[in-house]
Structure 1
Amino acid sequence: MYSREDIQLRELRGSDAPILLDWENNQENWRISDRSEAPSLSDLTSLIELQENAEHTYDLDQYRFMIVASKSGKPLGTVDFYEADWENDLAFIGILVADPKDRQKGAGLCALELLLDKMYNELELQMACARIFPDNLASIRLFEKAGFKKKLEEKHLSEPEAEYLEFVCELENR
Structure 2
Amino acid sequence: MELTAASTLTWAREILCQLGAPAGCTLEVLVPDVSAEPEVRYGETAFTSRLEIQDGEADGPSVPDQPNCLCVVLAFDDGVSTSVLLEDSLAEAEVVVLLAEQFQDSVLEHTGGVPAPPCPGHIHPAMAGVVDGEASWTCPQSGSRHGRDGSGRTRPIRVLPGPVGQTT
Superposition TM-score, scaled by structure 2 size: 0.31
Structure of larger gyration radius: 2
Superposition TM-score, scaled by structure 1 size: 0.31
Greater RCO between the two (CA within 8 Å, min separation 6)?
Answer: 2
